[in-house]
Amino acid sequence: MSIRGPLIAALIAGAAMSAAAEEPQTPPQDEVQWSDFQSPERGFAISFPASPQTTSAPVAGQNPLIRYSFQADEGDDTVYTVVVLEYPAGKAPNPNETLYVKMISAYARDSQSKVRKRGPITVSGRDGFEAITDDGKGKVNHLVDIVPAGDRIYMLISAGPKGHATSDDAARFRDSFRLTGDQSQSATSPAAASP
């Protein structure tokens, strides 16, 4: 299975110099420089290891639901994606475990992976849901987080080689997510246990 391209079908500042006489320090060639990405229009900010490619499309059979995707590849085997499902005002589904399980199941089916672990989590001060899925061959694993916010549902997805879902980079991506604008003012309850 290739993890490049869209992962979801239907559902889915600056560096400081110490002294003028010193040479600027540059990171080693293999060290990835994560940078903050903001989408004021979609109400979020997050850190990516590279500039994300953005796409948008209506969700078939659920018009006028729109899916926005922000995806950055790191090397040949790791992908970081934010999917924003944007509903018309007042039409977003009620966020609950049944919805989360359906979304995770659809993701696993579409990515040809199996759910290994799932449960509630708090991301950016909001109650949400997290799952780890594996491709069954031990080659690719995925960390998937669902964060509802008003008329939007955010899916934070990172996929990479074995062990990726519990890696520092997967946690860094998830934990850098934050809501911006009006949505950031309406955070929900305190932290839930991570799966």
Overall average pLDDT of the 88-110 stretch: 94
What phi and psi values does residue 105 have, to the nearest 5 degrees? Answer: -60, -40
Distance in angstroms (rounded) separating the CA atoms of residues 45 and 148: 15
For residues 166 and 116, is the Cβ–Cβ distance under 8 A?
A: no
What is residue 4's three-state secondary structure?
A: coil
Residue 22: what residue type? E
Residue 36: HSE in the Cβ half-sphere, 13 Å Cα cutoff: 10
How many beta carbons lie within 10 A of that of residue 90, not counting itself?
7
Please write the tens of the pLDDT for every residue from 143-189.
999 999 999 999 999 999 999 999 999 999 999 999 998 765 444 43
What phi and psi values does residue 18 have, to the nearest 5 degrees? Answer: -75, -40
Mean pLDDT, the chain, integer = 82
Please write the tens of the pLDDT for every residue from 66-79.
999 999 999 889 99
pLDDT band at 12 (very low <50, low <70, confident <90, very high): very low
Q: Is it the case that residue 9 has pLDDT exceeding 90?
A: no
Is CATH 3.40.1000.10 correct for 35-185?
yes
What is the pLDDT at residue 183? 61
For residues 191 and 44, is the Cβ–Cβ distance under 8 A?
A: no
Distance in angstroms (rounded) separating the CA atoms of residues 46 and 38: 7
The pTM of this model reads: 0.79
Q: Among residues of the chain, what percentage have pLDDT more than 70?
A: 76
